[in-house]
Structure 1
Amino acid sequence: MSENKIIKKVAILGAGVMGAQIAAQCINVGLPVVLFDLPGKSDDDKPVHKNAIALKAIENLKKLKPAPLGLASDANLIRAANYEDDLGLLADCDLIIEAIAERLDWKHALYEKVAPHIPAHALFATNTSGLPIGELAKGFSGDLKKRFCGVHFFNPPRYMHLLELIPAADTDPTVLDALETFMTSTMGKGVVRAKDTPNFIGNRVGVFSILAVFAEAQKFGLGFDAVDAITGSKLGRAKSATFRTSDVVGLDTMAHVIKTMENSLQGDPFSTLFKIPEVVTQLIAKGALGQKTKAGFYRKDGKNVLVLDAASGEYKPSTATIEPLIERILKKPITERLELLRDTDEPQAQFLWAIYRDIFHYCAIHLGDIAQSAREIDFAMRWGYGWDKGPFEDWQAAGVTQVANWIKEDIDAGKTLSKEPLPTWLFSGPVAEKQAFHTPEGSWSASENKYVPRSNLPVYQKQVFRASLLGDGSPDPKTAGTTIYENPDLRAWVDQAQPDVLIASFRSKMNTISPDVLNGIQKAIEIAEANYEGLVIWQPSSLKLGTPGGPFSAGANLEAALPMVMKGGPAGVEPFVKLFQDTMMRVKYSQVPVISAVSGIALGGGCELVMQSARRVAAIESYIGLVEVGVGLLPAGGGLKEAAIRAAQGVALASNTNYLDFTKASFENAAMAKVSSSAQDALKMAYLQKGDIIVPNVYELLSLAQNQVKAMRYAGYRPPIPALIPVGGRSVASTVMGQVINMRDGGFISEHDAFIAKKIIDIISGGDVDAGTLVTEEWLLKLERQAFVELIGHPKTMERIMGILQNGKPVRN
């Protein structure tokens, strides 16, 4: 068996919440999947389909939020099956994942039933959040034990980057390598290998951190909303903070994980903490399980958010905020931050120092038991819990010995959640000498008493920049490679591994497109045409801390455009718009391929850049759209021109002249500011095109884009030849405007929305011309430019722009 083993088809046993969503992720990445569950039981009056349970789960995938599927209609690609009639389908599956309820006896009973049908080549895994893999492996014999291990997808499987991989005693190491390769590249996950200990790594540390927050919040008298105000993004943690995250996960799920810890970790130095908090027990008894029951620690009352008052058990308006002093402290570097929190006699400050200290204390004591090294704990907390930095990264940044001494003082003073002393390796030996848990040679392993290097599986060669940890010596993607050209907002550079492909990366906030970005793109294309195979536009922000997938571009830089309007009136912005259009045409007609490597948001001008590239390589989580109407404007960088071209292509393919059908979808995308919900959806909306590549793992985005450039050049790439575009003309525009006016008169859109919509449809349909008239790209660009200049001078548009710049919220006027 080899890590290069190709997994062509997957079976999922169990169509519950996790099983169905893992099946959905298989479909998202293009893998055929069979979803099994118990046979449906018919009664005398009502016959039931034998696959009713699996079919109902598949149907439910279309309605779930957040959406488990890139396209809801793709649910129909999942094959439903049952254990009575369909076990023969396992014969051509290469990976079988069991994902039934967390009961050892139920899992063993299922293994007994399916084991005879599992083919000799197949890998077999159990998806569990904490059951012992060694105990589960006792459910069958011999050869299958070697091909069996644990996997732990975090919920929801489409969006959570973390996947824990857990061996049993008999698991063949090549099985783990094959699964790590598959989960990384095909399923798009960040794989962490865990030891077979209760709740593995992510939930062991994550749930401890939640229980520590409960305990410390009670000690310092802080309400649930007050805790969330200070333990969210300002602390470098998930935006949903602590109690809102618990609501999202489900209080019943959280209670189950805590119960596992209570039952299996009775000798743990922190075991007094491993009890389901009384407030959680009470909420579960009332059926308030969090978001899925619309009440937990929080409850929505219309548009208002109410929070549970622990003392009264009633809900009250959520009003808590972070103290200004604490907000200032949290902006400081972590060394200073921890010292200030520790020394500030204020409940929020003392609480925050306590939760930092508790997590450091716990991780230091348990490092040797639960993980090979500090690396696995840090990645588990970043990818599974959305922390910007892992606990050992924070500790290292703040000073290993300094923080260890502070914790020791608190242990001696009886302030900590356990009296267990810190391990001696913190005070003497390599960690104390280097003041580091992560070094270029590897991360600290308490069980092996040395620094251990990262996995060198071939799959990681597809990642130009692997996920990095503070101190590990990884290159910084913002400065790596050799800079060929740069200006304040753009850097053109080459990576040593593929020095024949030029890369352009933006440096502006949210990768917005400024005059410097536009001039930089033109310069990069000029350099690429002279000396390179092509140009990739890729943003280091795609590898953001925590869960990866940062923005490609939030669009044109409005703050850069406003001074032009203030100085020269609406016409003052026209040179910027013309530069934008000229740059996009330079992208489209470059003599070498220009590829957009997209992840996260590509909005407005970012979408126009994507549309006019020679090809697109897009992460599954790509949210692409022309959203200018939200600020009272319209796309003027060629987005509506490209919409007209796509409509004309649709007409040509259909061999008819019904311009209306093909124009309407493009019009609605722009006029309603629709944004794709995934790369698959962007393909349906024609922002991506047939032949573009959809990438499950954002870490592979750059490498695949570089290889695309080379493949296109090898195939003799030539830019498209400019062609005349047949347009729908005034008849299409007037038909569409009839519907727009009905929406305006019905109060669904405002007068200004209708005004912008008219300009959008006029441009896509080619202006005041007959249907079928042939126009040039320059003609459509001129229409875009004129409309944009007129709109930016409109008072209602200016209100929208100022609203976005001042509050970040769209103004409906």
Structure 2
Amino acid sequence: MKRTIKKAAVVGSGIMGSAIAAHLANIGVEVLLLDIPPRELNEAEQKKGLTLESKAVRNRIVNDHLANSLKSKPSPIYHQKFASRISTGNTENDMHKIAEADWVIEVVVERLDIKQKVFENIEKYRKPGTLITSNTSGIPIKFMSEGRSEDFKKHFCGTHFFNPPRYLKLFEIIPGPETSTEVLDFLAMFGEKFLGKTTVVAKDTPAFIGNRIGIYGIMSLFKQAKDMGLTIEEVDKLTGPVIGRPKSATFRTVDVVGLDTLVHVAEGIYENCPDDEMHELFKVPDFINTMMTNKWLGSKTGQGFYKKVDKDILSLDLDTLEYRAAKKASFATLELTKTIDKPIDRFKVLIKGTDKAGDFYRKNFAGTFAYVANRVPEITDDLYKIDDAMKAGFGWENGPFEIWDAIGVEKGIELIKAEGQEPAAWVTEMLASGNKSFYTIKEGATYYYDLASKSQKKIPGQDAFIILNNIRESKKIWSNSGAIIEDLGDGIINLEFQSKMNTIGGEVLQGINKAIDLAEKEYDGLVIGNQAANFSVGANLGMIFMMAVEQEYDELNMAIKLFQDTMMRVRYSSIPVVVAPHGMTLGGGCEMSMHADKVVAAAETYIGLVEFGVGVIPGGGGSKEMALRASDLFHKNDVELNVLQEYFLSIAMAKVSTSAYEAFDTGILQHGKDVIVVNKDRQLAEAKKHAKLLAEAGYIQPIKRKDVKVLGKQALGMFLVGTDSMEAGHYISEYDKKVANKLAYVMAGGDLSEATLVTEQYLLDLEREAFLSLTGERKTLERIQFMLTKGKPLRN
């Protein structure tokens, strides 16, 4: 049967329930969110004379939970208007409405008896064939469906979202004893294709895959910190971005998630995994029990491992359990990795360290390698699923088996033995059979070592993706130090940035021009896309700063002209150019997107023109493009100044969208032209498809615009009055006003006496002149220098 999800019901509206409902709404599903009605009136309800039977009262719990979720930051929803897709109700009056749902998700408290009662209630109203799943983080699935009908059991399984569901990609599916294959296949497809998830089918073992490995990792770090006398700042320094983990590293992550949540899962593993060789590690240590007693649970209680007092962040001393001023952590070993851009290339250096950091990494990796190898085939038959779970659920850039491969399998065994442990038998068997690594890349695909067949097998599902790591060497056409051009097949090539933070400097611009040259001569279309954490943080500020400080204005003028000309080539080449932004897409990265024939954006794209933050205006065609887009929206009888002002404010306020959907509001993305992909893994394949479609439809090279309507003095006067009043009201500084007035001059088309049609080049020349003049200002140089050294804007 063909199965679709048009309507879903979420039972339980707490932090997870509301966030799951929001993410389903993100993808266009109509959601019914239910929770229990209150048992007593609150003070406000009593004052209003309401009764327990009032609808507002009966839905108070669910409505409050949803409202709090939608107000939280980061937001669980791509765009606030999507919240209208969620309706609320209570489990006594509205349970019958689940008969309309295609999928019912239970997200109530982690108690088996309560969950079983909820499922009994659900079965009264669900229609046969409806999917029912539990978002449990560890209760065995086999116990939950006891006493339910055959149809219920067939359509029931666990679907464990990780918190927050919008941002963490792991989606664990845990089959029950009677779950049908059709249900598992459908949920795996739906999770990957529609929810944008990394879908992992797990065995019904305690804590499944992600939490079993992740909680082991955190509990082992608690022990290691105590054994080695490490401060929490030192552990967070060692377990953060340097090894490809989130900035929140270990202790800050626990504060965010909640210590009580961690303890709950750890206790579940301790109670239910008596045969785990690391069983005692999951026993909650005394200092954690003290923190639990004191309610030092993290962000939710205002203090945990860290505590904010006024503007100061205090840290917990693990020995005295008293808060003290934070101490800066530094290690000589970490200094050795500063010139190594990719975390995967750092591990060999880290384990050779001769200081405390080197000892830490050798012990930590030894324990992790031994533990994950022993979990195969207990929690999963396939080792790649452990790596997928840690990357998608815990934000690791590389999974444990990938790290082990990077260090060398034999070296990893050496580390394990040095810690008095033995590697799993299958690992030594793998080496003895001639397989020297857990993964290999062949013919553009990733293969993994399969225990059952004792051979390398292709990881399934790759055909829907383009994975640049797999084709970078075999399909490379051209490269320099900042960019690589790869052949994606079917007449489409890809330009991938390779600079630090994917900044756009001379090498990247050379790469773009080379890619367009090649595509115009030999191919049908070009994609500009990469699979780094961020698409691009913008132009190379360091280069601009050095030229400006040295007063090399001719060279700077030429560099800006090259940037502008390259963006215009993206717009006016004879082949379609599709840009695929994701993550941070700022300044020049945003300008490149705005000049594409089509943008295929990942849903998690944070895009905007942020040049105001460093005291300049967009100089790579962004200011011109906003004026042009405003012009295209001018209609007869429109208040044209109001339209132009909206586009002006997008730049002047340095607006950055918190999702790709919000970028339509700021005028960066365009309805009817640009598209959004929820699963970033599919983005390049989708971008290639659109480039091919444009080419096959008979792509015709666009004609340069000579009809951009600018409003001249009429608009300029309005902008200048506005910036004067903003300064007078102390909303902006005197220098902010100066920068804003430069932008106003460009977007008004200068001080023309009346509205006039101009060329794009006319606006580009004004833009470049304004940009250059601002780089000659001391306060702009101060702002650029502050951004380069501190990583945040300066208000001067």
Judge same fold: TM > 0.5, yes or no: yes
Cα separation, partners in 2 of 1:330 and 1:531, compared to 1, 3 Å: closer
Match of 1:120 in 2: 128
Match of 1:340 in 2: 352
Give how far 1:598 is off.
1.1
Residue pairs, 1:347-362, within 5 angstroms: 347-362=356-371
- Structure 2 distance, partners of 1:731, 1:431, is 80
2:170 and 2:199 in contact (8 A); partners too: yes
Residue number among 647, 665, 671 corresponding to 1:690 in the alignment: 671
Q: Distance in 2 between matches of 1:406 and 1:331?
A: 25
Asked whether 1:532 is paired with 2:523, we answer: yes
SS at match of 1:505: strand
- Tell me, yes or no, if the aligned pair for 1:198 and 1:264 is still in contact at 8 Å: yes
Q: For residues 383-438 of structure 1, what are the alpha-carbon distances to aligned partners after superposition, in whole Å with 9 as ceiling and x for unaligned?
A: 22222322222223333334324423432xxxx6xxxx543333345566423233
CA–CA distance in structure 2, aligned partners of residues 804 and 375 of structure 1: 40
Which among 467, 480, 489 is matched to residue 482 of structure 2?
A: 489
Asked if 1:273 corresponds to 2:254, the answer is no
> Which string of whole-angstrom CA distances, capped at 9 and with x for unpartnered residues, describes residues 464-489 of structure 1?
228xxxxxxxx534334251x54443
Q: Which amino acid aligns with 1:235?
A: I
Contact 2:476 2:484 in 1 (8 A): no
Given the alignment, which residue of 664, 673, 684 partners 2:645?
664
For structure 2, which runs of at least 5 residues remain unmatched after alignment?
none
Supply the AA of the counterpart residue of 1:537.
I
Letter in 2 for 1:389: N
Which 10-residue stretch deviates more, 321-330 or 111-120?
321-330
> Partners of 1:56 and 1:283 in 2: how far apart?
29
**What residue is the counterpart of 1:296 in the other structure?**
304
2:221 alignment partner, SS class: helix
SS at match of 1:753: helix
Cα gap change, 1:216 to 1:776, in 2 (>3 Å): same
Q: Give the Å deviation of 1:557.
A: 2.0
SS of aligned partner of 1:361: helix
2:693 to 711, 714, 736: 711
Output the amino acid matched with 2:589: G
Q: Using the alignment, how far apart are the partners of 1:409 and 1:490 within structure 2?
A: 42
Deviation at 1:9, TM superposition (A): 2.7
Report the counterpart of residue 569 of structure 1 in structure 2: 552
Q: How far off its partner does 1:187 sit? A: 0.6
The match for 1:215 is 223
* Distance change >3 Å, CA 455–CA 568, structure 1 → 2: closer
* AA aligned opposite 1:580: F
1:701 maps to which of 664, 683, 688: 683
**Residues 107-506 of structure 1 mapped to structure 2, 5 A cutoff:** 107-325=115-333, 327-328=335-336, 336-337=348-349, 340-341=352-353, 344=354, 347-411=356-420, 421-428=422-429, 433-439=434-440, 442-445=447-450, 448=452, 450-451=454-455, 453-454=457-458, 456-457=460-461, 460-465=462-467, 476-483=470-477, 485-496=478-489, 499-506=490-497
TM-score in terms of structure 2 length: 0.92
Once residues 439 and 308 of structure 1 are traced to their aligned partners in structure 2, the CA distance between those partners, rounded to angstroms, is 44
CA shift, 1:312, in A, is 2.9
CA deviation map 1:173-218 (0-9, x unaligned): 2211111111011111111221110001111111111111111211
Counterpart amino acid of 2:516? I
Mark the CA change 1:521 to 1:233 in structure 2 (over 3 Å): closer, same or farther: closer
The whole-number CA distance in structure 2 between the counterparts of 1:593 and 1:803 is: 39
| Displacement after TM superposition at 1:317 (Å) | 0.6
Name the CA distance, whole Å, in 2 between partners of 1:530 and 1:330.
Answer: 40
Unaligned stretches of 5+ residues in structure 1: 467-474, 542-549
Give deviations 1:241-278, integer Å, cap 9, x for gaps: 11111101111111111121122123322222222232
Q: Distance in 1 between matches of 2:258 and 2:161?
A: 16
Q: Which moved more, 1:681-690 or 1:236-245?
A: 236-245
**331-340 vs 66-75, greater mean Cα deviation:** 331-340
Q: 1:535 to 1:404 in 2, by over 3 A?
A: closer
1:746 Cα offset (Å): 3.9
Quick one: structure 1 residues 123 and 262, their matched pair in 2 at CA, closer, same or farther if it must change by over 3 Å? Answer: same
1:534/1:709 contact within 8 Å kept: yes
Find out whether 1:511 has 2:498 as its counterpart.
Answer: no
* SS at 1:171 equivalent: coil
Using the aligned pairs only, state the percent identity: 39
* Higher alpha-carbon deviation: 555-564 or 282-291: 555-564
1:545 corresponds in structure 2 to: none
SS in 1 for 2:233: helix
The answer to whether 1:520 aligns with 2:523 is no
* C-alpha distance after superposition, 1:672-693 (max 9, x if no partner): 2121111011111111110211
- Asked whether the equivalents of residues 217 and 227 of structure 1 are also in contact (C-alpha less than 8 Å), the reply is yes
Contact 1:59 1:75 in 2 (8 A): no
Range with bigger deviation, 31-40 or 699-708: 31-40
Counterpart of 1:135, as a letter, is F
1:98 to 81, 103, 106: 106
For residues 310 and 5 of structure 2, the distance between their equivalents in structure 1, rounded to whole angstroms, comes to: 47
Aligned partner of 2:731 among 735, 748, 751: 748
The equivalent residue for 2:759 is 776
8 A Cα contact 2:209 2:379, kept in partner: yes
Partner of 2:31: 33
1:53 aligns with 2:61: yes
CA distance in structure 2 between the partners assigned to 1:279 and 1:735 by the alignment = 63
Matches of 1:489 and 1:232, distance apart in 2: 26
Q: CA deviation at 1:781?
A: 1.2
Structure 1 pair 74/223, CA: closer, same or farther in 2 (3 Å)?
same
Other structure's SS at 2:536 match: coil
Aligned 8 A contact 1:338 1:398 in 2: no
For residue 660 of structure 1, what is the amino acid of its counterpart? L
User: Cα distance 1:406–1:465, how it changes in 2: closer, same or farther (>3 A)?
Assistant: closer
Q: In the TM superposition, what whole-angstrom CA distance separates every residue of 1:216-258 from its partner, at most 9, and x where no partner exists?
A: 2111222222221222222333221111111011111111111
Give the letter aligned to residue 292 of structure 2: I
User: Partners of 1:687 and 1:629 in 2: how far apart?
Assistant: 16
8 Å CA contact 2:105–2:133 kept in 1: the answer is yes
Q: Match of 2:17, as an amino acid?
A: G
Q: Deviations over 1:642-690 (max 9, x none)?
A: 11122223332xx434123212222222112121111011111111110
Task: Answer yes or no: is the 8 Å Cα contact 2:560–2:619 preserved in 1.
Answer: yes
Distance in 2 (CA, whole Å) between partners of 1:775 and 1:445 is 64
SS of equivalent to 1:199: coil
